[in-house]
Amino acid sequence: MDIVAELLNGSKLAISRAITTVENEYDEATEIMQKIYPNTGKAYVIGITGPPGAGKSTLTDKITKEYRSRGKSVGIIAVDPSSPFSGGAILGDRIRMNELTMDDGVFIRSMATRGSLGGMSRKTAEVVKILDAAGKDIVIIETVGVGQSEVDIVKTADTTLVVLVPGLGDDIQAIKAGILEIGDVFAINKADREGVERLNLEMEMMLDLDQSETAWRPKIMRTVASQNQGVVELVDAIEDHSTFLTQSGMLEKHRFERTRNEILAMLDEAIKIYLMKKVAGSKFESLTTEVNERKNDPYSAVKSVLSEVLK
Amino acid sequence: MEKRIRVLVAKPGLDGHDRGAKVVARALRDAGFEVIYTGIRLTPEQISEAALQEDVNVVALSLLSGAHNTLFPRIVEMMKAKGLDVLTIGGGVIPDADIPGLKAAGIAEVFTPGTPTEKIIEYIKANVK
Ligand SMILES: Nc1nc2c(ncn2[C@@H]2O[C@H](COP(=O)(O)OP(=O)(O)OP(=O)(O)O)[C@@H](O)[C@H]2O)c(=O)[nH]1
Ligand SMILES: [Mg+2]
Find out whether the beta carbon of A298 lies less than 6 Å from any atom of ligand 1.
no
With an 8 Å Cβ cutoff, are B39 and A98 in contact?
yes
Whether residue A94 is found in the same domain as residue A130: yes
Which CATH number characterizes residue B37's domain?
A: 3.40.50.280
Other CB atoms within 10 A of residue A140 CB: 28
Whether residue A157 is found in the same domain as residue A191: yes
Query: What value does the mean pLDDT of chain A take?
Result: 91
CA of A97 to the centre of ligand 2 (A): 10
Domain presence at residue A9: no
The CA distance from B104 to the nearest CA of chain A, in Å, is: 26
- DSSP collapsed to 3 states, A119-137: CCCCCHHHHHHHHHHCCCC
Whether residue A207 is found in the same domain as residue A290: no
CA of A99 to the centre of ligand 2 (A): 15
Find out whether the beta carbon of A189 lies less than 6 Å from any atom of ligand 1.
yes
More confident residue, A246 or B39: A246
Which of B29, B85, B121 is the best substitution to test chain A (most A C-beta atoms within 10 A)?
A: B29
Whether residue A55 is found in the same domain as residue A203: yes
Q: CA B73 to CA A207: how far, in whole Å?
A: 56
More confident residue, A118 or A29: A29
Per residue in B45-81, pLDDT tens? 999 999 999 999 999 999 877 888 999 999 999 999 9
With an 8 Å Cβ cutoff, are B52 and A25 in contact?
no
Q: CA A243 to CA A260: how far, in whole Å?
A: 23
Domain presence at residue B99: yes
Amino acid occupying residue A152: D
Where among A248, A272, A292 does a domain terminate? A248
Domain presence at residue A208: yes
State residue A137's pLDDT score.
Answer: 98
Domain presence at residue B95: yes
With an 8 Å Cβ cutoff, are B29 and A23 in contact?
no
Find out whether the beta carbon of A226 lies less than 6 Å from any atom of ligand 1.
yes
| Closest atom, ligand 1, to C-alpha of A61 | 15
Which of B2, B3, B4 is the best substitution to test chain A (most A C-beta atoms within 10 A)?
A: B4
Domain presence at residue A200: yes
Whether residue A159 is found in the same domain as residue A269: no
Per the structure, the count of domains in chain B is: 1
Q: CA A173 to CA A178: how far, in whole Å?
A: 9
Whether residue A161 is found in the same domain as residue A126: yes
Which residues are in the CB-under-5-Å shell of ion ligand 2? A 56-57, 93
CA of A124 to the centre of ligand 1 (A): 23
Per residue in A175-222, pLDDT tens? 655 777 889 999 999 999 999 998 898 888 888 887 666 789 999 999
Residue of B41, B39, B43, B46 whose CA lies nearest to B25: B39
Where among A195, A220, A248 does a domain terminate? A248
In degrees, rounded to 5, the angle at the alpha carbon of residue B67 between the alpha carbons of residues B66 and B70 is: 145
Whether residue A283 is found in the same domain as residue A141: no
Residue ranges in chain B modelled with pLDDT below 50: none
Whether residue A244 is found in the same domain as residue A281: no
Asked if B74 and B101 touch (Cβ cutoff 8 Å), the reply is no
Q: Among the bound ligands, name the one nearest to the CA of residue A166.
A: 1
Q: What residue spans of chain A are helical by DSSP H? A: 3-8, 12-23, 29-36, 56-69, 124-133, 151-156, 171-174, 180-182, 196-209, 231-248, 250-279, 282-292, 298-309
Whether residue A244 is found in the same domain as residue A265: no
Cβ burial of A255 (10 Å; 0-12, 13-18, 19+) is middle
Enumerate the β-bridge partners of residue A160. Answer: A47
Residue of A94, A39, A102 whose CA lies nearest to A68: A102
Other CB atoms within 10 A of residue B28 CB: 26
- Show the domain range for B31: 6-127
Domain presence at residue A253: no
Asked if A55 and A163 touch (Cβ cutoff 8 Å), the reply is yes
Whether residue A113 is found in the same domain as residue A189: yes
Asked if A244 and A218 touch (Cβ cutoff 8 Å), the reply is no
β-pairing, A89-91 vs A159-164, is unpaired
Where among A207, A227, A248 does a domain terminate? A248
Question: Which residue spans within B25-108 are E strands per DSSP?
Answer: 34-37, 58-63, 87-92
Share of chain A above pLDDT 90, in %: 70
Whether residue A52 is found in the same domain as residue A176: yes
In degrees, rounded to 5, the angle at the alpha carbon of residue A271 between the alpha carbons of residues A267 and A272 is: 115
CA of A45 to the centre of ligand 1 (A): 22
Distances (CA, A) of A36 to A20, A133, A246, B48: 15, 6, 24, 27
ipTM, interface predicted TM-score of the complex: 0.95
Quick check: helix, strand or coil at residue A80?
strand
Total beta-carbon pairs less than 8 A apart between chain A and chain B: 86
Crossing angle between the packed helical segments A282-292 and A298-309, to the nearest 10 degrees = 160
Domain presence at residue A302: yes
State residue A311's pLDDT score.
Answer: 75
Which of A58, A110, A161, A164 to mutate to test ligand 1, by most ligand atoms within 8 A of the CB atom?
Answer: A58
The CA distance from B100 to the nearest CA of chain A, in Å, is: 31
| Closest atom, ligand 1, to C-alpha of A53 | 21
- Show the domain range for A98: 39-248
Which CATH number characterizes residue A52's domain?
A: 3.40.50.300
Domain presence at residue B1: no
**DSSP letter for each residue of A189-233:** --TTSTTHHHHHHHHHHHHHH-----SPPPEEEE-BGGGTBSHHH
Per residue in A144-173, pLDDT tens? 876 555 677 888 999 999 999 998 766 566
Domain presence at residue A19: no
| Predicted TM-score (pTM) of this structure | 0.93
Per residue in A74-88, pLDDT tens? 999 999 999 989 999
Whether residue A160 is found in the same domain as residue A275: no
Per the structure, the count of domains in chain A is: 2
With an 8 Å Cβ cutoff, are A13 and B26 in contact?
no
